[in-house]
Structure 1
């Protein structure tokens, strides 16, 4: 006969023995689940990808906020005549953009306009991912520029 381990007390009644067996089953089930989770490479990779995406989204938000703050600080330091010229330039840009949009609508074929609208909608729906990609590209460009 086998002897029970020294660190675990023996059961004094069938009820206690059943409780010990149930507890051992639960612990064994938890151990098997933990081992199965460690061997599921696809799920672990998806989890890491989700974490990376979340981190990129957070970083992109931080960078966007910082850029907006810096732009406002720079704008506040400008003299009034420069601010006025910037406002005029912005208004001219809005006018030219509206004219270009109208020209595009009048001259571009329907299938091309449809595809462009799909692309714009896709970019708008995936704005965070697009911003993160642009941020990464900018960081890579800056890193390459410094090395060269």
Structure 2
């Protein structure tokens, strides 16, 4: 005899032609995952506030980078200009400028004391003028 399942009328039962239930479950799970990713991508595109924040951060970073580059360029240019001025300045003038700088630094204390004394004298004189 034949081991094929039979229907009530004696003919063999039809064999399933499509995918098995396990394959269908796997396919449904993959579709769910893909759909979830698609929904997340659409939500991210629709979030204008988040996009604006990201763009703001990107622009801020670019501005900081450019500012650093410009600052470095200015330092290099200033250093180069200072070297050129020093190279072009006659030696006797450099010596006089150095001595004048040293004298100004040394006399700074004296200048501050004299300035404070003048300020005190003016304040005393002014206060005596109000009492008369």
TM-score tier, shorter chain, comes to 0.5 to 0.7
User: How far 1:17 moved relative to its partner?
Assistant: 1.5
Q: TM-score, normalised on structure 1?
A: 0.47
Per-residue Cα deviation, 1:47-104 (whole angstroms, up to 9, x for no partner): 1111110110011011101111111111121235479448x49x86xx7xxx7xxx9x
- Partners of 1:11 and 1:74 in 2: how far apart? 83
| Structural RMSD (CA) | 3.5
> Which residue of structure 1 lines up, in the alignment, with residue 69 of structure 2?
62
- Partners of 2:28 and 2:45 in 1: how far apart? 26
Instruction: Look up the SS of the partner of 2:19 in the other structure.
Output: coil
> 1:10-49, aligned counterparts within 5 Å?
12-49=19-56
The structure-2 alpha-carbon separation of the partners of 1:75 and 1:14, relative to structure 1 and needing over 3 Å to count, comes to same
- Report the number of matched residues: 86
> Which residue of structure 1 lines up, in the alignment, with residue 78 of structure 2?
71
Q: TM-score, normalised on structure 2?
A: 0.53
Question: Which of the pair is proportionally richer in helix?
Answer: 1
For structure 2, the residue ranges without an aligned partner over 5 or more in a row are 1-16, 117-132
